[in-house]
Chains A and B, each alone.
Chain A
Amino acid sequence: MSARIGVVTFPGSLDDRDAVRAVRLAGAEPVALWHAEEELRGVDAVVLPGGFSYGDYLRCGAIARFAPIMQAVIDQARAGLPVLGICNGFQILCESHLLPGALIRNDVRRFVCRDQWLRVEATSTGWTSGYASGQEILVPLKNGEGGYVADEATLDRLEGEGRVVVRYLHDNPNGSYRDIAGVCNERGNVVGLMPHPEHAVESLTGPSTDGLAFFTSAIDQLVQA
Chain B
Amino acid sequence: MARVVVDVMLKPEILDPQGKAVQGALDRLGVAGVASVRQGKRFEIELDGPVDQATLDDIAGRLLANTVIEDYTVTVEDA
User: A: which residues have CB within 8 A of B?
Assistant: 58-59, 62, 66, 94-95, 100-102, 104-109, 147, 149-151, 175
Contacts and interface: CB of A to CB of B under 8 A. Distances in A.
Given A58-B63, A62-B63, A109-B21, A147 B15 contact: yes
B14 A109 contact: no
A102 B63 contact: no
In terms of DSSP, what is the predominant structure of the interface of chain A?
A: loop
B29 interface: no
Given A109-B20, A109-B21, A102 B66 contact: yes
Interface of B: 10, 13-15, 17-18, 20-21, 63-64, 66, 68-69
Given A59-B66, A102-B66, A104-B15, 15 more contacts: A58-B63, A62-B66, A94-B68, A95-B66, A102-B68, A102-B69, A104-B10, A105-B17, A107-B17, A108-B17, A109-B21, A147-B15, A150-B68, A151-B13, A175-B15
Contacts of B21: 109
B48 to A, nearest CB: 21
A149 B70 CA distance: 12
Contacts of B15: 104, 107, 147, 149, 175
A107 B56 CA distance: 32
Nearest to B15: A107
Contacts of A106: 17
Contacts of B64: 58
